[in-house]
Structure 1
């Protein structure tokens, strides 16, 4: 029997494992002779690997986390929706900024690409580190001011290698941007609906149907304004976060009302139906494809995410087994910081003459390197938390 909880540790555990896997699959993505099932499949391939399910899981967790996050925030007029908009805008801006690294012109810009990237991340840390424990407010503003000045300097010197767009320009929203858009939709829906479960279900179905209709060509009449309707993607990103919101709402309802048996049966059956439905849809809607955000990919990944979270509920909330998460717990508690640290290393590494030994640049050695690197990143995050360094948006 589960007692009513204010914070579900299963979400922290699920987030930690997902973040660990995200760092790992990204680190070994370009290493040859590693198991293909770990990687993203090619854009023209009908199928998916482990890496193709990681980002959907992260968006799913965004939705899972919203009810608890709102419960701990004071309701003061429109402070919550303003916080949602501010937080989303910050994520969208930084996602947009970091995608411009892909077209950075190192030859004509004052500093090389790697240096520009890690300085941009440092500016983010200066601006958004949690300074609540500082005794002197002026020191907080001084450090944030350094971050703003550094950011403005980097924006001023940026040059693109795209002749049609010599400065910062839009290519895609980036990982942070997509998270920001998904969070904006799902969090505002949750807030203005008062958390009513049936509205969350309706919104989730609406986004999933919008994604399906887009791939069936039924939304073509909206093509001139279509980008402005979803603002990011074709409804798939929002569908994942809304699915997480639905599961979070149903779970808390089941805990508080003593309906856990119905919860287990409903989620298990619905997840299996979603996966089955996804495979049925595949042939007529572009197959399983993360690159094209197909309905089959959305349905299959949603089912996988829900079943995976059921496992974490059973292990962490019911069996009270959380200690196994401790070695990677920081990835679930300071996720944004953990997400940014690999790019600090990669961008710095790019500016040096260092290289990995051949032993860890291929096959099994590369996988082992990826595992070690991922643990080191998570432990570096834990160390920063220990010395009270934490990003807060």
Structure 2
């Protein structure tokens, strides 16, 4: 959540103003999504969020069971939560549009689409979860692998990308190219079932509705991790398990990419990306477990606890209020206030102040025990 809120710092603007600075170019890269294949720190935000949804589920089910909630009551809550997440994602994507923008690639929408299936697996055995996970990844890989590649007469304008785009993959890996794949073909049909200002032809970023399927895979990895935490509570055995899982998943994802069997592409959530990003999630979880649980350095992470305790509020604030806060600062401090360190850093100055305002609001909510939950 902090990394997502931190987009307001706009490192890219500073990097553009200071093109000779490798420091700002580095920060810009890791605050941006890679064009297609690969990974930046920013690319790990969505899988981390999805992974933690899975981690939290065993604790949620246990808590509701201790309150004597029936399975049917829990299912009603699950379906309501799923619907709210889907509609909230559509609402956020429709802001400043002329009409409702029915789109399903937003983080909240993707989680909402997969959440009922995740909840069902919350009552399954580890073996059943692993079988489901393998089935999802293999099936999603096969869907893309059998979809035909563009022919010589293909109209690339219909895909919003040129035939010689520098990030195109070649050979077998070309089945996972931008807007010429199976998920793109599905959206060409599915997205046009809804009222639109114009016919849907492609998503400019290459994102797709069907990515919720492998995103469910990421949540299942989190579910397995959360169940393991409940079993072992804390300790070095748990730490070792997470590190080993991270190493195996990272190696598997990289191997699939290097061999051309499946590229690491976050935008369409390829199976290789699911494995690779889950490896990072396990590694990050291991690091936090070591520092916070084993070394008891909880106070180091108070700001993260404050933000994470109100993750939905943080998400909505970053998506809806950042512009309002920025404009308000200009009104009250003057249009030139953010040039105090020079024109090159004006976006950064504005970003720091907006981020501070958002954090203070979240801190106030935390102290007053106001938590927005779905």
Q: Which residue of 2 aligns with 1:8?
A: none
User: Are 2:64 and 1:83 aligned?
Assistant: no
Cross-structure match for 2:94 = 100
1:66 matched to 2:57 = yes
Is the counterpart of residue 287 in structure 1 residue 263 in structure 2?
A: yes
- Does the C-alpha gap of structure 1 residues 60 and 340 become closer, same or farther in structure 2, counting only changes over 3 Å? same
- Name the structure 2 match of 1:271: 246
The Cα shift of 1:78 comes to 0.6
Residues 160-239 of structure 1 correspond to what in structure 2 (within 5 A)? 160=98, 167-191=99-123, 193=124, 196-217=125-146, 232-233=210-211, 235-239=213-217
RMSD of aligned alpha carbons: 3.3
SS at structure 1 position matched to 2:13: coil
Deviation at 1:238, TM superposition (A): 0.6
TM-score of the superposed pair, with normalisation by structure 1: 0.67
TM-score, normalised to structure 2's length? 0.70
- Partner-residue secondary structure (3-state), 1:292: coil
Query: Are residues 41 and 86 of structure 1, via their aligned partners in 2, closer, same or farther at CA, if it must alter by over 3 Å?
Result: closer
Deviation at 1:189, TM superposition (A): 1.8
In 2, distance between residues paired with 1:323 and 1:23?
21
Please tell me whether residue 377 in structure 1 is matched to residue 358 in structure 2: yes
CA offsets, 1:276-315, max 9 Å, x none? 1211212425633222222332221110110110111112
Gaps of 5+ in 2: 16-23, 149-180, 192-207
Distance 1:38 1:224 in 2: 31
Shift of 1:37: 3.5
Alignment deviations for residues 325-364 of structure 1 (CA, whole Å, 9 cap, x no partner):
1233221211111211223423425776655624679766
Q: Tell me the distance in 2 between the aligned counterparts of 1:361 and 1:101.
A: 32
Higher relative contact order (CA 8 A, sep 6+): 1
Indicate the residue corresponding to 2:30 in structure 1.
Answer: 38
The answer to whether the Cα contact below 8 Å between 1:181 and 1:232 also exists between their aligned partners in 2 is: no
SS at match of 1:246: helix
Q: Distance in 1 between matches of 2:186 and 2:320?
A: 39
Alpha-carbon offset, residue 375 of structure 1 = 4.3
User: CA 1:351–1:76 in structure 2 vs 1: closer, same or farther (change >3 Å)?
Assistant: same
Inter-CA distance 211–376: structure 2 relative to 1 (3 Å threshold) = farther
Indicate conservation of the 8 Å contact 1:215/1:285, yes or no.
no
* CA shift for structure 1 position 39: 2.3
How far does the alpha carbon of each residue in 1:120-162 deviate from its partner, in whole angstroms, 9 at most, with x for none? xxxxxxxxxxxxxxxxxxxxxxxxxxxxxxxxxxxxxxxx2xx
**1:324 paired residue among 287, 290, 300:** 300
Query: What does residue range 92-171 of structure 1 map to in structure 2 within 5 Å?
Result: 92-101=86-95, 104=97, 160=98, 167-171=99-103
Alpha carbons of structure 1 residues 221 and 91: separation in structure 2 relative to 1, 3 Å: closer
Counterpart check, 1:253 vs 2:231: yes
Q: Counterpart of 1:235 in 2: which secondary structure?
A: helix
| Structure 1 residues 217 and 40, CA gap change in structure 2 (3 angstroms) | farther
For 2:352 and 2:105, locate their aligned partners in 1 and report how far apart those are by CA, in whole Å: 28
Q: Return the offset for 1:67.
A: 1.0
**Distance across 2 between alignment mates of 1:32 and 1:285:** 38
In structure 1, stretches of 5+ residues that fail to align are 1-18, 105-159, 161-166
Cα 1:89–1:391 change in 2 (3 A) is same
Q: Partners in 2 of 1:359 and 1:64 — Cα distance?
A: 44
Distance 1:390 1:255, change over 3 A: closer
Shift of 1:90: 0.5
Query: 1:199: Cα distance to partner?
Result: 2.4
SS of residue matched to 1:31: helix
Moved more, 312-321 or 86-95: 312-321
